[in-house]
Amino acid sequence: MHPHLKEVLFTEKEIESRVKALAHEISTDYAGKNPLIVGILKGSIMFTVDLLKALSIDAQVDFMDVSSYGNGLSTSGEVRILKDLDTKAQGRDILICEDIIDSGNTLLYVKNLLAHRGANSVKIISLLDKPAGRKVKINGDYIGFEVPDEFVVGYGIDYAERYRQLPYIGIFNTDFLIKD
């Protein structure tokens, strides 16, 4: 375990098996629909790639970079588009792929935006859900794991751009907070 973590929540193997189960569900539900998987940069990189690899149906992938956190520990509520889709949303069955739903601000914004652009359907898959963090009413359609009200990192999820590379997910030890 990385020395800046307090505890491992989900091992590499546990994540792998949960992602495969989710991919199986998606492959059934979206058979013949050629869904557009929209990964939200950067936190969802690992999950998006692993999910794609485990799908048994045709699908396409695109990315949006939407940020609401900056380097702080709590959400600002402000959502900014840093990179938009290259693909037209019109008429597509879109599955937004996230690493974590916390306040819900990011996903509420992206979901409304893509629906407004005329997508045929917009659903959400998130590896993690932190219900205690919710500030707006939004829920995932497919969830990997529920997490407690702690700061989690790893498998794409950062604190101040660190720890994304870890192949497992754990609780950040706040003794290692960066002070300014």
**Which residues are catalytic, by number?**
102
**Partner interacting with residue 48 (select from Mg ion, Mn ion, ligand PRP, none; CB below 5-8 Å by kind):** none
Q: Does 104 interact with Mn ion (rule: CB under 5 A)? A: no
Q: How far is the CB of 32 from ligand PRP (least distance, A)?
A: 29
Q: What is the nearest approach in angstroms of ligand PRP to the Cβ of residue 56? A: 27
**DSSP 8-state secondary structure symbol assigned to residue 149:** S
Residue sitting closest to ligand PRP (CB):
43
Alpha helices per DSSP H over 90-165: 105-116
CB contact at 8 A, 66 and 40 = yes
Strands (E), 31-107: 36-41, 60-67, 80-83, 93-101
> Exposed e or buried b for every residue in 112-124, given b needs 16+ CB within 10 A?
ebbeeeebeebbb
Q: Which residues in 146-165 contact Mg ion (CB under 5 A)?
A: 158
Indicate whether 162 belongs to the interface with ligand PRP (CB under 6 A).
no
Given the complex with Mg ion, which of 34 and 165 has the nearer CB atom?
A: 165
Smallest gap from Cβ 57 to Mg ion, in A, equals: 30
Would you state the structure tokens that stand for residue 117, as one six-digit string?
Answer: 């652009």
Token output for 143 = 């969830």
Chain contacts with ligand PRP (rule: CB under 6 A) = 40-43, 67-69, 75, 98-106, 158
